[in-house]
Every structure is written in C-alpha cells, then in structure tokens.
Structure 1
Amino acid sequence: MAKQAKAGQQKKKRHGKYDWQFWAIIALPLLYAFIFAYIPMGGILMAFKDYSIRKGILGSPWVGLKYFRQFLTSTSSVTVIRNTLILGVYSLVVNFPLPILLAVLVNELYHQKFKKFVQFISYAPYFISTVVLVGMMMQMMDLRTGVINRIIVMLGGTAVNFFGDPGIFRSLYVWSGLWQTIGYSSIIYIAALSGVSMELKEAAVVDGASRLQRIIHVDLPSILPTITIMLIFACGGIVSIGFDKVFLMQNSMNAGVSEVISTFVYKVGLVNSDFGFSTAAGLFQSLVSFALLLLVNWIAKKVTETSLW
C-alpha cells in the first residue's frame, strides 16, 4: 500500500509538472472563444430594449418582446423567413446526399491515380473564396459577354439573365454551392468508408452480392452513424444561410427571393441603425436553429439510436 501511495504521489507530481504546458496550448483558443464568442452574447439584451447608443445597453428602456412580434408579423419579415426556409431546405436536399454519393463512387475506384485525380478536381473548388466564385459566375453568365450565354445563342437559344431572373436565383445559389463544397464535404464519408470491415465485404462477395448490393447492404449501413450525425448538423443549419454569398449575388431584380434573415439583419441593423430589431431577428434565427438541432437529434435517437447526446 505504501508503495502504491508513493507511486501515486510521484505520478501526480509528474502530471502537475506538465500541466502548465497543457494550459499554455489551450490558453489562446480559450481566450479567443471567451472574447469573441461569449462576451458578445451580452448583446442579445438589445433584442429586448429600445437600444440607444448614447444610453448604452443597460441604460436603454426595456421593450420586452416588441421586436419579436414586429419581426414575426410584418409582411417583409414573413417573406424573409419563407425565403430562408426555402433556400435552406433546397440546399439540404441537394448538398447533403450528393457528397455521400461522391464518397461511395470514389471509394469504389480501384485505379489509384485516377482516384487521386477525381479527389483533387472535386476538392479544389472549396479553396476558391466566395467573392472570387461569385465574380466568376457573373463573368461567365453575363447577359451579353458571358461564355455561357454565348454558347446558348450559338445553339439557337435566347440569352438568359441568370442574376436578374428571380426564378433562377435559388438554383444558381444551391448548385454553385454544391460544385464548390461537394469534394470537401465528402472527405468525412470517404474516411468512414475506409473503416468498413473487409470481412463483411468478402462475405458479401462469397454470397454472390453485386457491387451495388455491397454498397447498399454493407457500405451504407456501416457509415450510417456518420451520416446521421452529419444530417443532424445539416438540419440544424437550415435557417443559418450564410450572408456573404447571398449578399454578393443579390440585386434589385432578385431581392424578392434572395432576401434572407442574414441579409435582412445587416440591412436593418447596420444600414438603417435599428439595432434592437436586427438583434431580435438574429436571435430568432439562432433559436430556430437550436430548436431544429434538438428536434432532429431527438428523432435520430429514437429512430437510429445515434445522436449527438
């Protein structure tokens, strides 16, 4: 017992000696998260106050749920919420299953050089910045000089105003996003497929299963937990449409379908200086995202027994 106690004390002393290195490593990330993620959370009080810069957050008069009622009942806000939900669901339907399909196809490639080439081609667009991507799209789809419209005219068609047609905006946003992110999004599924049991695959081959049958009955069930977790995150982000790409693609002609909560918050808060109303809209978006995350996580736990917690 004495030897065990002495060994425990030495181990504790040895661990304590290196604790400072551990804290030194995580100090900056913790400080960054505290300054830029937790301290700004105090600003949500503006959603419940008639905020005045002169009076400050604490000195501004309390208005309760006034801005939330205003956001949920005004005609423009209802349109913004509808646009956000449509664009979010459209993005989920397209951008969630196709990276899984790409991962399965890449995993089935046996020629290593061709496999690496496919991966490189699909990953590369992810590293193009959003500003550059939208600029490329504008140049290629220009009504008069764009290469795509020139090809359409050469084939006997009529030039299309891609960025000015409200009916095209959502598809343009979603499918260009798929082109940019499909390769990067497939990485986690490719990694999961690499861990599929070879014994199961060999047993399926012995039983006479075709390649498609092996994918359906061996590969996909094996990575189902990974798919479920990613689906939970994706559903939680349905209403969290990014600001930058939508704002860059937006103009007066497509504003009726391109105005989403993030751009609405920017225009109301920073352009019109209505900080309380814009904070309420942003907080509403965050609460809906959190509620969706909880709901989908609960459903996933009941159906598949896989969840975040």
Structure 2
Amino acid sequence: MNTVAIAVTDGMLQFELSLAYEVFGAAPDGVAVPWYDVKVCGSGAIEVGRFRLEPDHGLDRLPHADTVIVPGWTDVDVDPPADLVDAIRAAHEAGARVASLCTGAFVLAAAGLLDGRRATTHWAHTQVLAARHPRVEVDPDVLYVDNGSVLTSAGKAAAMDLCLHLVRLDHGSSIANVVARRLVVPPHRDGGQAQFVTTPVPAPDSHPLAELFPWVIERLDQPLTVEDLARQARMSSRNLGRHFRAVTGTTPLQWLLTQRIRHAQELLETTDDSVDTIAAATGMGTATTLRRHFNRTVGVPPDTYRRTFRSRTSVTAPGP
C-alpha cells in the first residue's frame, strides 16, 4: 500500500491540509484497489487556523513514506521550522516523492529540493519565492509542476489538481476520474494551465463555452477543427480563442488534444480495444498519430500504459 505522509506544523493552511486528507484518506466507492495509508506527521500538537491538531506520528516517520505532502502555511515571511525542513530533506533522500501544496513550496525550497528545478506556488507569493531562493526557476503562470520526485502546486483549487494528478499517476485515469466525481470537481486540468490571476473562475454554466464542452466530448471520434468549434459556439475563431484562454488557460486545439488523450487513457484502462480502434474512437485517425501524441503527453506508449494500469486497476463506475 502506498503510504502518504502529510507533514504539518503550526500555521498550516487548513484548506490544503483537509484537501489532501480528503483525496488520499479514503478510497471512493467502487474502487477495488489497495488505497493509500495516510499518516499525519508533526512535532507535537499544532495550531491549524482556529483548530488544534494532534498528529498521528512524529516527523521522523517521513523518510518511511512513499509520498510526502507539504500543505501550504500562512507565514511565508519567516523561515519554515528547521525540524520540518530537515525531515522533508531526509524523506526525499530516502526516496520519497515530495509534493507541496500552495505555499508549502517554501518548505521544499528551504530544503534545497527545488534548486535548479522549475516550481510554482500561489501567484501572490511567486515573487517572494523567486527572490528568496534564486536557484529555483519559479513559474507563476501554471497550476502545478511535476518534476518526477518533486512536485509543486499553486494555491487552493490547483492543490486539488495536483492531488488528483498524483492519483492518476498511481492508479490511472479511470480511478482519478472516480475520485473527482466523488469530490464534484473537474477530473483533469493540465498543470500548464494558467492560475487565472486576473480572470475569475466562472461558475460551471455561466461562461460562453458551457454548452460547447459537452458537445465536443460527445464527438471526440470526429475530426473536429477550430472552425467547427467556433461554428457550434456561434462566434468567430478569434473570439473562440479568447474565451478558451480565459476559461481554460489554453488554446482550443490544445484543449481538444488533451480531451482525446484522456479518453484514450480511459479506453486503454477499461477495454480490450486495439490501439487502432482507440485511435479512431478518439479522433486521432491512425495508431501512429495516437502513439506519437500519447507518448509525448503521457510519457509512455499506449501499450505500456495499458499494461501498467490494467494489471492493477479495477473500477465499478458509479452513476453519472
């Protein structure tokens, strides 16, 4: 079982702490795979917002975890506690995957884990992080950054995106989607999407593309173009691009490709269809095209992805 240790200290942000425990703490209904064993680790009782929390274990448990989550914390103007920094560094040296949520990136940076790496944090604190840790390549415009054994996210909703990304890496797209449905959140937002610094996140049905998205998802097997999407949305291609950038942080074609790849992942996990059949079902046309885009996006060929997740995935999907 994959052990997840949530490292806590005084002043942790309760939203990110609760979010991590909600995602990793209990398997959703219908998922028949070994789930995470979550440990809350700290140096004694801590203050989280207006609450007092008694950790299950000490920070010395971190090097024994497979994944360590560092939630955000409130006071980024002071150095994080030395015992926490040392424990995070020891966990990474022991082989743990370490992920920070929001301002938890300051802890990872203090431990030296972000030196020479690209990283992000809440947009309001990216300049502070870059100034305090000049060896870190701070990207203020993304939701999360995956460096393999070290991951960082922006704030609030982006922390959820990173947690679901970890579930997807461990258990595949189908199970990550089940978790997302249970939490009533979007199943996937690419880490490269913008943090929406100046554009408020619209309500699900309040933006001009609300009807277009489901229309596209139902037609992924078709060779859709930007002009097709613009015509369905009753706007020009240029206006469509502006709305896509505002709502998704990316272009219509990149968003469409992402949906095709995610659908291909689900079909690889849940069916015995050939790669040629899946290429047709996802609008990729040929197996060669699917393999090229899949390998570039996911990092492995479709056949390897299927062998990896079909061997450990068993999902009874809930109703819509």
Q: Same fold (TM over 0.5)?
A: no
Q: What is the TM-score with the length of structure 2 in the denominator?
A: 0.22
In our comparison, the structure showing a higher alpha carbon Rg is 1
Structure number with greater CO (CA < 8 Å, separation at least 6) is 1
Q: What is the TM-score with the length of structure 1 in the denominator?
A: 0.23
Structure number with higher helix proportion: 1
Structure number with higher strand proportion: 2
